[in-house]
Amino acid sequence: MTFQSDLQNRGQTLFLYSTTPPRADIEQERLSSAAARLARRANGMALNGVVVYDVQEERERTDDPRPFPFRPSIDSQAYSQRLCGAVRAPLITYKCIAGMSECEWERWLCDAGAMGIEAVSVVGLASSRMKQPGITLTRALEIAAECGPQLSLGGVVIPERHIHQNECDRLLKKADLGCRYFISQAIYDPDLTIQLLCDYARACDNAGVAPQRIFLTFAPCGSEKTLKFMRWLGMQIPEATAQRILTAEAPAAESVSICVENFQRIQEAVAELSIPLGVNVESVSARKDESMGAVDLHRALFDLSETYIGRRL
């Protein structure tokens, strides 16, 4: 099975596992070790894909200082290439097209296809305040549809953005340009996601089109600094949820429980909608409790999904 064929199975909940590439200055021996460790972990999980993020500094996202210092990482495509063959699940590679020319983007797409990358999540600037020369996101998706027909194209969906802007219009436009899936940022406020999914289903119905698959992202949070970074990235975390995590005896484990509760709540609230869903579990932390928590979280969400499907049948 390919990721593209999995996407077309609208009755199945798909599962992804996400990672960030190691730091750009990592020694080759440690890089090989990190890639092998990721492959072993991913190959032991029930996955439809492994996501490699494209890490950007995003200093213009907000005026607030970045909680963690930015350290350049290995290019997402280069790390995906290293994982090809070692990771059995299809590889989904993020790429920020900010600052790229059309020729550079076309070459990147050709290289991705040759490497065996099956899907590309195309992202633009982190903030409308950022100004950078290069192709627009719209043009990048047009080129990708022309130059990379073998690639499944995807984008991002941000429930928090739907509060002030119509995120559904973005989704419909990107789907018209070839996007067949969208991956959210980590969810800690299920109400925002439920509202977005309900509005998206209604918008698709009004437009006479089928909704594309939405991957709901969940990530462990085991410390105040991690929580602060999540909020810096734009994730809405209710204060009651934050306190529940921070005052717990085992914060990361408590956050896993919260994520499971949130997924269950979302799943039940949108059960009658025609939106095919997926789950994306992030493992992007160097903290051991959060890293291992991601494995526990995937297992719990997978089991919950299987139980829920069985109950509906």
**pLDDT of 283 over the 90 cut:** no
Q: What is the mean pLDDT of residues 36-64?
A: 87
**pLDDT of 126 over the 80 cut:** no
Task: Match 């797409």 to its residue by tokens.
Answer: 109
**pLDDT of 60 over the 70 cut:** no
- Lookup: tokens for 21: 């590439």
Rounded mean pLDDT of the chain?
91
The top-scoring range by mean pLDDT among 66-80, 132-146, 186-200 is 186-200
Q: What is the pLDDT of residue 130?
A: 52
Residues 6+ apart with CB under 8 A from 31: 22, 74, 82
With cut-offs at 50, 70 and 90, classify the pLDDT of residue 105: very high
With cut-offs at 50, 70 and 90, classify the pLDDT of residue 69: confident
With cut-offs at 50, 70 and 90, classify the pLDDT of residue 305: confident
Task: Match 């306190």 to its residue by tokens.
Answer: 243
Query: Bigger pLDDT: 147 or 269?
Result: 269
φ/ψ (deg, to 5) at 22: -65, 170
Burial, 191: exposed, middle or buried (Cβ in 10 Å; 0-12, 13-18, 19+)? Answer: middle
Q: By residue range, what is the domain housing residue 264?
A: 3-312
What is the per-residue pLDDT across 173-208, written as a single tens digit (0 to 9) for each? Answer: 999 999 999 999 999 999 999 999 999 999 999 999
Q: By C-alpha distance, which of 113, 117, 124 is closest to 50?
A: 117
**pLDDT of 226 over the 90 cut:** yes
Q: What is the pLDDT of residue 180?
A: 96
What's the total number of domains in the chain? 1
**pLDDT of 1 over the 60 cut:** yes
Residues 6+ apart with CB under 8 A from 139: 102
Beta carbons of 275 and 214 less than 8 angstroms apart: yes
Query: Bigger pLDDT: 147 or 100?
Result: 100
What are the angstrom distances between the C-alpha of 284 and each of 53, 56, 221, 291, 292? Answer: 9, 14, 11, 7, 11
Q: What is the pLDDT of residue 134?
A: 80
φ/ψ (deg, to 5) at 83: -80, -20
Give the C-alpha separation, 215 to 298, whole Å: 13
**pLDDT of 259 over the 80 cut:** yes
With cut-offs at 50, 70 and 90, classify the pLDDT of residue 286: confident
With cut-offs at 50, 70 and 90, classify the pLDDT of residue 308: low
Q: What is the mean pLDDT of residues 242-255?
A: 97
CATH of the domain at 161: 3.20.20.220
Give the C-alpha separation, 290 to 226, whole Å: 9
Give the C-alpha separation, 155 to 109, whole Å: 15
Q: What is the mean pLDDT of residues 57-71?
A: 72
Give the C-alpha separation, 260 to 263, whole Å: 5
Give kind and range of the element (H or E) at residue 279: strand 277-282
Please give the single-letter amino acid code of residue 129: R
From the CB of residue 144, how many other CB atoms can be counted at a distance below 10 Å?
A: 24
**pLDDT of 310 over the 50 cut:** no
What are the angstrom distances between the C-alpha of 287 and each of 221, 222, 277, 293, 311? Answer: 10, 8, 29, 10, 36
Share of the chain above pLDDT 90, in %: 79
